[in-house]
Amino acid sequence: MPKHILVGYDGSETARRAYLFALELAACAGARVHVVSVLQVDNGADTAALMMTESNGRGRQEALEAEVKALKPEAGVPVTVDLIHGSPGDALLSYVPRHGVDHIVIGHTERGALARWLVGSTSTDVLAKAHVPVTVVR
């Protein structure tokens, strides 16, 4: 049974369903849930843009914590909320070994082939590269 469950969270309806699923799984397994949201930073970002992102990130962290708590105020399991920077798939996957995550739960929004090619799919990226079990919630 998992002990540390990571939930990729972007505020979408499927991310909310993934979080609620992860809470149920954690309650059955006696696990901790790590809710992780990724602020994407472009490779060519200059120092001023990065500093604005950092400042914005503090406010986003507080808003994220409030949003997650409002979904299920009495979760009944320990929940950690983290805001990290990077490319969503890679950032989520790099979080796994640093925090002992042994299961990933992620939402999936159906997009057409063109949209997937243009902007990618975090769930597809995570599924392809993860070394721990992954549950995709639709």
Look-up: residue for tokens 């200059």?
Answer: 46
pLDDT digit string (tens) for the chain, length 138 residues: 999 999 999 999 999 999 999 999 999 999 999 999 998 866 555 555 555 555 666 788 999 999 999 999 998 999 999 999 998 999 999 999 999 999 999 998 765 554 444 445 788 889 999 999 999 998
The neighbour count for residue 124, using CB atoms within 10 Å, is 15
Domain range list for the chain: 4-137
User: Which pairing describes strands 134-137 and 103-107: parallel, antiparallel, or unpaired?
Assistant: parallel
4-137 CATH: 3.40.50.620
